[in-house]
Every structure is written in structure tokens, then in C-alpha cells.
Amino acid sequence: MSDATVESAKRAAAQQAVKDHFDPSATNVGIGSGTTIVYVVEAIKAVSTNPAIRFIPTGYQSRQVIVQAGLTPVAFDSLPENTMFDVAFDGADEVDAELNCIKGGGACLFQEKLVAERARKFVCVADYRKKQDRLLTVWPTIPIEVAPIAVPTVLKGLRTLGSDGPKLRTTLLEKSGPLKTDQDFFIVDAPFKTLLCESDVKAGKGKGDGSDGTWEVNKLSQAIKALTGVLEVGIFSGLNGPDAEAIRSTDGVSAVTSGQKPVAVYFGMQDGSVEVRTAK
């Protein structure tokens, strides 16, 4: 498919997602990173340029997109800790049948997860290439944000978990050295075998804990996050926003429970249509 087809698919998905989930009377709206988000902001601008709406970017690129659209950007860490966002829009590198996502191809995964977890609902916008049944079907690696001093330790840990050839991501010009995130951390890209969903483990398709060579999405994310030196993992899994809110409202012990998964994923398709996957 041509580049024009892909861009048209992104725009169609963004327009439908904004139509369904953006409220012009919103107070706080999270804006993710990547090429698809340009079309999300474009669609939002067409509906409202209300300066009272605060748009929270996940990095430098998304802040520039917000500013260029004439909207009002606000830094994540400038908001009170109890501030919830009405909605957050972001893209993904790959999405599975249970709405788990891989993100971090653009190296903004840490701030993207901060924003997604603060949103009452996270809405993912993508093109047809990202629509898969299982993670690591086409997208080759899991992006991981790592403290520079801990890179050797994390690489060793990833190999122990079963990653075949995890690598430190470099800039386009390798002589410039490793790519740095907005936190001045590095990105390690770790390949693994195609990941299982929770339903696969329940169906007996693998243990999903690494002991038999299979990993389930949530368990692998937790295992990687537990490696000393890892800031964040580019797997967005577990609860979504409404499910997390339901737990917080009934269980005080779970007050810090946050949602990472989208409530819906909008895929722009080759024929110009939009397919929507929603939480079951």
C-alpha cells in the first residue's frame, strides 16, 4: 500500500475517534505522540479551539502539534496530583485482540503511560498495519526505557527472560550514539516470541510465565519492569480507565490503581473505512 493510503487511513481513524470521544466542554485532554496524533489534533481543532481546554502532551513533538493548532498545552507535572483527564488520545505500534498495546517506537513511552494512566479513558488511534491478534506478530520488539548506567544489567536480564538479541537503540546517525528520551534515558528494544493473551493461557496454549518459553502480555511486562534500571516498559496492558476507576471507588487499598489499556482502538483501513475494537 502507498504512503498516501496509510496517511488517509490514519486521518479517517482520527476523525472518527475524535467524533466519538472528544467533548468540546472537556477540561483536560491528553495528547500522545507520533504521526497519527497530528490528525487527532487536526480533528479536534475542527471541532473546538476553546482556550480553556488544557491539552497535556506526552513529549516535545506532541506539544509542538498542540501549539501549532492554536490550542493550549499544559505540562503534565504542572497539574495537581488528583487531576484526571477527560480523555487521552494516542497511537500504538501494535494492538492485540484484547486491546493490549506496544508503544515506544517514538521513544515517548514513559510520558505516554503517565498520561494514559491519568485519563478516565484512553482512546487509541492507528492504521490497519497495527491491527493484529497477538503482540509481536509484526512489530518486532518491546521498547524499554532504561537508565544509561543500567543498560548492561538490563540487557543481561532481558536475555535471561528469553529475549533473543536485545539492543540499545541508536540515533539515525549511529556516530551520534544512543538515542536519548526526554528523561535523558536510553531505549532498549527487546525481541520476544509472539506474546500470549490472557485467554490463551486460560485455554492452555502456554503457561505464559516464561517457564515454557511463552510469555503472557501482563506477566512479561511485570517481569521486565522488575529489572533494576528499567524506568518503564512499552507494553500497555492490565486495566483500562473505567475499570480502574471502578476499583478505586470501591476499594481504598487500591487507590493507586490506574488504567493503561484503551477503551477503544480505531483502525483506519485500506478501503477508507474505520474498524473499532472495544473493551469486552
> What confidence tens digit (pLDDT) does each residue in 46-104 have?
999 899 999 999 999 999 999 999 999 999 999 998 899 999 999 999 999 999 999 99
What do you get for the CA distance between the two ends of the chain, in Å?
Answer: 31
Instruction: Say how far apart CA 92 and CA 114 lie, in whole Å.
Output: 15
As separate numbers, helices (DSSP H) first and strands (DSSP E) second, the chain gives 8, 14
- Convert the pLDDT of each residue in 97-155 to its tens digit: 999 999 999 999 999 999 999 999 999 999 999 999 999 999 999 999 999 999 999 99
The SS3 of residue 96 is coil
- DSSP-H helix ranges across 125-280: 151-161, 198-202, 217-225, 241-250
C-beta neighbour count of 132 within 10 angstroms:
16
CA 248 to CA 20: how far, in whole Å?
A: 26
- Cell of residue 3, nine digits: 504512503
| DSSP-derived secondary structure letter, 195 | P
Q: Is 112 an annotated catalytic residue?
A: yes
Closest CA to 93 of 43, 38, 137, 59: 137
Angle, CA of 245, 127 and 125, to the nearest 5°: 25
pLDDT confidence tier of residue 174, bands split at 50, 70 and 90: low
Range list of H helices, the chain: 3-21, 35-47, 60-68, 109-118, 151-161, 198-202, 217-225, 241-250
* Residue pointed to by grid coordinates 497511537: 91
DSSP category for residue 139: S
Catalytic residue among 112, 117, 216, 232: 112
